[in-house]
Structure formats: C-alpha cells, structure tokens
C-alpha cells in the first residue's frame, strides 16, 4: 500500500463537502445585522428546532458562542462553576475573565462532570462573603476527558441542583451530536438539561466555519447584543450559513462512522499492553493514549508519527489524542492503526 497522510489531529481539519460548496455559491443573502439574511434565519430556526429551544444565534466560532453565553448569563465580578479541564477554562485564553470580568471556580473530576456535592458546597456559600455564582458550565462531549459523553442522569442531577439555587446551566456542546449518538438519545434530550447550548458546525459536521448558540427567546435577544460587542455581528453571512444547513441536514447521522472508526483504532492499539487502554473509555470519535510507559514523551511521539505521515496531537507530556473524522475513511484508519502499532513497538524495542 502506498504511503498516505492520515490526519487525526482533530475533526476541525475536515473539508466542506461538494454540496456545502454549491450551497455557499448559490446562497440567498442579506444583512444579518438587520436580521435580513434569509439563509442565516433558516439556519438559526433549524438549529433551535433540532435542540428543542426557542431561538438560536449564528456565531463565527465555538469560543465566541461560549463567551457570548457566559457574558449573557453573568455580570462583572460573578463566578462560574466548571470542570478543571473544560474547554472554556483551558483553551479560550481566559476570555470570560478578560472580557466579562467573570472568575472561574474549577472542580476536578474523572469524567468531566463536576461533582454534585462539591458544586452544591460552592452554591450554598454566604453571598455576602463570597462572589456570586451566576452560572454552571458543562461540556458534552468532553474534549480533554477523551471525547467522553456525559450521561443524561449526570446532567439532570446538575440541572436539579442549579434550579434549587436559581442558577442557569450552559453547555459547551461543541460535539453535542456525537454525545447524542454515544448515549442513544436525541440532541434535544441533552439540551433539555440546560438553559443554553453552543455547538459547532465546523468539527465532525464538516462545515468550513460557524457555531450556533441556542436558548430561550429572551436569552438569545440579549445574546445578540453581546455577539455584536465581541465583534461577531456579520453581514451577508448566509454564504457560510448555507454550509451549516447542509451540515445539520446531511452530516449528523454519519458521525456514527467516526465512532466506529475510533473504536477500531482503539481496539488495535489496545493490543499493546503497555498502553493500558480500556475500550470503554472511548465513547465517540476520540482515542487518547498514554505513552509514558513506552519511554517517550507525547510531543516527541507526535513528531515521529508525523514523519510516518500520521498526524496526531497531544494534551500534555504523556497523552496523545487521535480524532477520527469525515475525511478519514475506514481504510485510512486501518492504515494508521497498522503504522502506529508498528511505530510504538519499534520505540519499545
């Protein structure tokens, strides 16, 4: 088999499909800042319907979606509870603090869902002595927990606690449709556990750009102003929204293929005992392997794998992330698994 380059760094590397490119070419557009772009309006209505919420707002990125949500739910000086490995805390350049004056309270957890007892401990603190907690943020699927899908039971427990203290819950649902497939539920079932959700079109759904923020009508009405404040007010954005419509109507069901490919990859790598892989840890399209026991650092491994035309990424000194996606076929995955297994065995020897 001839050499090929297999890109497993992320599902963000996906290319738009031909139908997306055609939809973008012929998209009907208008001024979205005036609410006059018909394609954006269609996308927002579709997103709200799919997630069972009243309204939706199209934003350029998932990070902006999260930040619009946090800044809409909170005020300067407030605090937000979230997992210590959450994308909002870890990868968004401290935006909630820098832009909104909001302080994070992090809770470490093995599965990415903050411990209910510890969450309630913070919520019941004296509001005179401690800053106000205005929001709980969850993430599903959870990126730095290996693409783990947080169960509906866990989310409903958090929802119940939040309601007891009259605190809203926001979900970073960048890969919410992956979570829905893994849990065997509808995306709207997950969204029903929270007050607002942001999700990406540009990951496994393969659109070139864009995310959606969904919630109540009143929430989205306030979020529109926050989006503009952050520079997210776009004009004839129906050109990119058109690809998002294709993503939501044609690309959701095929995410199962990515999950199956990830399971194949994990099963092949699990043959190497020193990796200590547990197949039940990988719910969706990510496989995380710890290379500490094979005598190499994760950054070093990524460099070596790249020289063998397998592109990967790493979380830290020990953990490598492999992400299956639309542009990686089963044949590609089989090839990558064969190369990676041989590479790891050669390193061990």
**Domain containing residue 213: CATH number:** 3.40.640.10
Same domain for 176 and 30: yes
- List all residues 6 or more positions away from 171 whose beta carbon is below 8 Å from its beta carbon: 137, 138, 139, 140, 155, 190, 191, 193, 194, 196, 197, 198
- Render pLDDT for 214-249 as a digit per residue (tens, 0 to 9): 999 999 999 999 999 999 999 999 999 999 999 999
Domain enclosing residue 310, as ranges: 6-13+254-348
From edge to edge, which strands make up the β-sheet containing 313-314? Answer: 286-290, 319-323, 313-314
pLDDT class for 4, splitting at 50, 70, 90? confident
Of residues 291 and 4, more confidence is placed in 291
Same domain for 260 and 201: no
CATH number, domain of 328, equals 3.90.1150.10
Same domain for 129 and 42: yes
In residues, how long is the chain? 349
Q: Is the pLDDT of residue 213 over 80?
A: yes
Residue 1 lies in a domain: no
**Which of these three, 226, 250, 274, is where a domain ends?**
250
pLDDT class for 349, splitting at 50, 70, 90? confident
Same domain for 184 and 73: yes
CA atoms of 79 and 84, how far apart (whole Å): 14
Cβ atoms of 140 and 176 within 8 Å: the answer is yes
Same domain for 317 and 169: no
pLDDT class for 1, splitting at 50, 70, 90? very low
Same domain for 262 and 244: no
Q: Is the pLDDT of residue 103 over 70?
A: yes
Threshold 0.75, pTM exceeds: yes
Same domain for 272 and 243: no
82, β-bridge pairs? 106
Same domain for 335 and 198: no
CA atoms of 120 and 5, how far apart (whole Å): 48
Of residues 349 and 94, more confidence is placed in 94
Residue 138 lies in a domain: yes
- Render pLDDT for 266-295 as a digit per residue (tens, 0 to 9): 999 999 999 999 999 999 999 999 999 999
**Both structure tokens of 109:** 């957890």
- Render pLDDT for 8-23 as a digit per residue (tens, 0 to 9): 999 999 999 999 999 9
- Render pLDDT for 31-81 as a digit per residue (tens, 0 to 9): 999 999 999 999 999 999 999 999 999 999 999 999 999 999 999 999 999
CA distances 324 to 6, 140, 179, 327, 337, Å, are 10, 17, 15, 8, 12
Same domain for 327 and 207: no
Same domain for 210 and 153: yes
Same domain for 209 and 74: yes
CA atoms of 327 and 208, how far apart (whole Å): 13
- Render pLDDT for 170-211 as a digit per residue (tens, 0 to 9): 999 999 999 999 999 999 999 999 999 999 999 999 999 999
Q: How many domains does the chain have?
A: 2
- Render pLDDT for 127-169 as a digit per residue (tens, 0 to 9): 899 999 999 999 999 999 999 999 999 999 999 999 999 999 9
pLDDT class for 2, splitting at 50, 70, 90? low
């Amino acid at each position: 088999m001839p050499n090929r380059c297999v890109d497993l760094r992320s599902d963000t590397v996906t290319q738009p499909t031909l139908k997306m490119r055609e939809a973008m070419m012929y998209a009907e557009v208008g001024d979205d800042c005036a609410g006059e772009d018909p394609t954006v309006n269609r996308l927002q209505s579709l997103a709200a319907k799919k997630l069972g919420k009243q309204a939706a707002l199209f934003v350029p990125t998932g990070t902006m979606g999260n930040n619009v949500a946090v800044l809409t739910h909170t005020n300067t000086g407030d605090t937000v509870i979230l997992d210590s490995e959450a994308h909002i805390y870890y990868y968004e350049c401290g935006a909630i603090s820098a832009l909104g004056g909001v302080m994070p309270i992090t809770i470490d957890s093995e599965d990415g869902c903050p411990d209910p007892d510890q969450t309630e401990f913070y919520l019941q603190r004296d509001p005179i002595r401690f800053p106000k907690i205005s929001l709980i943020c969850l993430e599903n699927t959870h990126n730095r927990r290996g693409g783990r899908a947080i169960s509906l039971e866990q989310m409903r427990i958090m929802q119940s606690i939040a309601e007891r203290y009259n605190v809203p819950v926001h979900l970073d649902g960048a890969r919410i449709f992956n979570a829905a497939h893994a849990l065997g539920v509808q995306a709207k079932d997950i969204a029903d556990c929270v007050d607002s959700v942001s999700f990406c079109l540009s990951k496994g759904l393969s659109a070139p750009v864009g995310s959606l923020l969904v919630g109540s009508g009143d929430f989205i009405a306030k979020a529109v102003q926050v989006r503009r404040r952050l520079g997210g007010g776009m004009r004839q954005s129906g050109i990119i929204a058109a690809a998002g419509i294709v993503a939501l109507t044609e690309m959701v069901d095929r995410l199962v293929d990515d999950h199956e490919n990830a399971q194949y990859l994990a099963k092949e790598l699990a043959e190497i005992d020193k990796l200590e892989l547990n197949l039940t840890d990988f719910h969706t399209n990510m496989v995380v392997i710890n290379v500490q026991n094979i005598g190499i650092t994760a950054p070093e491994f990524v460099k070596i794998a790249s020289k063998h035309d397998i592109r990967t990424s790493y979380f830290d000194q020990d953990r490598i992330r492999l992400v299956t996606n639309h542009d990686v076929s089963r044949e590609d995955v089989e090839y990558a698994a064969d190369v990676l297994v041989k590479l790891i065995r050669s390193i061990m020897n």
